[in-house]
Amino acid sequence: MRIAQIAPLTESVPPLLYGGIERVVSHLTDELVAMGHDVTLFASGDSATRARLVAGWPRALRYDPVCRDTITPHAVMLEQVARCASEFDILHFHFDYWYFLRFAPQSVPVLTTLHGRLDLQAPTYEPLPGVSLVSISDAQRQQLPQGRFLRTVYHGIRPDLLSPQSVKQGYLAFLGRVSPEKGVDKAIHIAGQAGFRLKIAAKVDPADRAYYESEIRPLIQVSPWVEFIGEIGDAQKSEFLSSAHALLFPINWPEPFGLAMIESMACGTLVIAFDRGSVPEVVEDGLSGFVVGNEAAAIRAVSRLGELDRRLVRRQFDRRFTARRMAADYVSLYQRLCDHACVGVAAAAST
C-alpha cells in the first residue's frame, strides 16, 4: 500500500529524548516499510526513517530557536500533504483534529490516531464526515463518546530496541515527564515509605518549570533517597529500567496509554501503577505488575516485588506490545478504509 504518515513537528521522528507520539510514529513507519509497504513520512527534517521523508519543517520545533509559532509550520506541512494526497492509498494523521476541516471529506481515506487526553475537548468536538478515528486505549475513547472510532490500537515498539540487561536491581524508577498529573511527588513518597532509593529520569517542560521549582525540587532536596537524572534517550533506557526493581507510575489523570509502561515491560521490569485511564488495559495485575488504588497500596505492592518473574514480564511485552503487532493492526484498518472507498467509488460510477 502507499501510505502517508503525518507526524507532529514538535520533536523529530524518533525524538532525541522525550516524545511519545513521535516515538510511536517512528516504530510504526519503519515497521510498515519492513512489511513491504511504500511509506512516506511527513515530519521534521532532522528525522531519521526507513521511509521516504518529506520535511514539513527543517528541524524539530523544540530545538528551533527561531520559530516561536508552532501553528504555521504545521499548516505549511498540511498543504504539502494536500498537494500530493492523490498519490497515496491512505493518509494517517497523528495529531489533534484541528486539521479536519482541511482534509474531510477527501477522495483518499483519512485515518487519525488521537494520542492525547480527550475529556477536555469533548464538549466542542463534532464528528465530521469522512474522518475515522483510532483510540490508543478503550479508556481514552470513553472520554469522547461522540467520536467515530473504528478501533483501539495499542502502541508498540521494536522488540530489539529495549531489552533486559544482566544488572543488579538497586532502586525504584520514574520515567517520563515532571508534571502534576504524572505523580512524581507520589513516587517520591512511595519510595521513601517503602525504604527504597528512587531515580527520576524525566523531562521538565517549560510549562511545568514553575511546578518543578516550587513543588518537586524542594521535595527532592529533603529526600536523600531520590536522585534526579533528567531526560534520557532510548540508548540509556535498557540499563536504567533493567536496574530498577520496578517502575512507579502513580498517575493522577486519565492516561491515554503510557508508553513508559511498555518500555519498562520490554526490560523485564514490572510496573506499579495507579488505576487510572489505560493502566488496567496495559498492566496485567499480578503478571506484568500491580495495579493499585493509592499510595498505601503502592507501598504494599513494593513488598511483593519478589512474587513476579521478570522473564514473564518481558513475555507479556512480546505478546502484546511489539511494533509488528501494532503495524499489522493498522494495516487491517487501512485495508478496511480503502475497500470501503472503492465500494463508494463503484456505487457512484453506477448511478
The secondary structure of 250-267 as a DSSP string is: ---S--S--HHHHHHHHT
The reply to whether 171-320 shares the fold of 2-158+322-350 is yes
Q: Which residue has the cell 479508556?
A: 139
Residues in the chain where the model's pLDDT stays below 50: 345-350
Q: Give per-residue pLDDT as tens, 189-219.
A: 999 999 999 999 999 988 999 999 999 999 9
Q: What is the pLDDT of residue 130?
A: 67
Q: What is the pLDDT of residue 244?
A: 98
Of all helices (H) and strands (E), which one includes residue 329? helix 323-350
Q: What CATH class is the domain 171-320?
A: alpha beta
Domain ranges of the chain: 2-158+322-350, 171-320
CA-closest candidate to residue 229, choices 30, 17, 9, 3: 17
Q: What CATH class is the domain 2-158+322-350?
A: alpha beta
DSSP summary character for residue 277: T
Q: What is the pLDDT of residue 340?
A: 79
CA distance 305 to 316: 17
CA distance 211 to 28: 34
Q: Give per-residue pLDDT as tens, 290-326.
A: 999 999 999 999 999 999 999 999 999 999 999 999 9
Edge-to-edge strand ranges of the sheet holding 131-135: 52-57, 38-44, 2-6, 90-93, 110-113, 131-135, 149-152
Helix 310-320 to helix 259-266 angle (10° resolution) is: 120
